Amino acid sequence: MNLQGKSFLMFIEDIYEDLEVWYPKLRLEEAGAKVVCAAPEAHKVYAGKHGYPCESDAAISDVKQADFAGVILPGGFSPDRLRRIERVKELIREFMSAGKLVAHVCHGGWLAASAGICKGYTMTSTPGIKDDLVNAGAIWIDQEAVTDRNMVSSRRPGDLPAFMRAIFAFLENQ
């Protein structure tokens, strides 16, 4: 797939799940896309759960939905920190309203729930946040990847190949 000229937003914060940031980031870049990692502070190094560093490209307060083809919400424990930032939730709602890709994996679903975008959507996640998604109005199913309209979701690092196949399939059909 050729994603030249397309940009994707990814939120990071300390204790992100290393594979859930790096696997999608590198696959999208391999396809020609630009991935902007936004965090509370620009040009700061954030550490993954397993210690892998990721330097943020931009501050969350400085990014605009209009500049991106979609947003990727990795898991780990960073979503619990990120969902406390109102601008993160606003951006996620803007992506949904625009019909752009909103993709979350594992605990990244916490951000979808906190943004209030789950109602009536079929999705998956780590079983640990199943109740959170169901309470937010989602129809939760246990599959390696689920696409419902413009939302793609996945359960865990081992499902990342299926997650990326689902993302690429969504982008091809846009």
Answer yes or no: is 1 within a domain.
no
Residue 76 lies in a domain: yes
Place of tokens 């679903």: 109
Residue 47 CA to residue 30 CA, distance in Å, equals 23
* 8 Å CB contact between 90 and 31: no
The answer to whether residue 2 is domain-embedded is: no
Q: Which domain holds residue 52?
A: 7-172
C-alpha–C-alpha distance, residues 55 and 154, integer Å? 24
End-to-end CA distance of the chain: 13
Does residue 147 belong to any structural domain of this protein? yes
Active site annotation includes 50: no
Beta carbons within 10 angstroms of residue 128's beta carbon: 13
pLDDT at 49: 97
**CATH code: domain of residue 55:** 3.40.50.880
Contact criterion met (CB below 8 Å) for 87 and 61: yes
Q: Which of 43, 50, 104, 107 is flagged as catalytic?
A: 107
Q: What pTM was estimated for this model as a whole?
A: 0.98
Per-residue pLDDT of the chain (174 residues; tens, 9 = 90+): 899 999 999 999 999 999 999 999 999 999 999 999 999 999 999 999 999 999 999 999 999 999 999 999 999 999 999 999 999 999 999 999 999 999 999 999 999 999 999 999 999 999 999 999 999 999 999 999 999 999 999 999 999 999 999 999 999 998
Total tally of structural domains belonging to the chain: 1
30 is a domain residue: yes
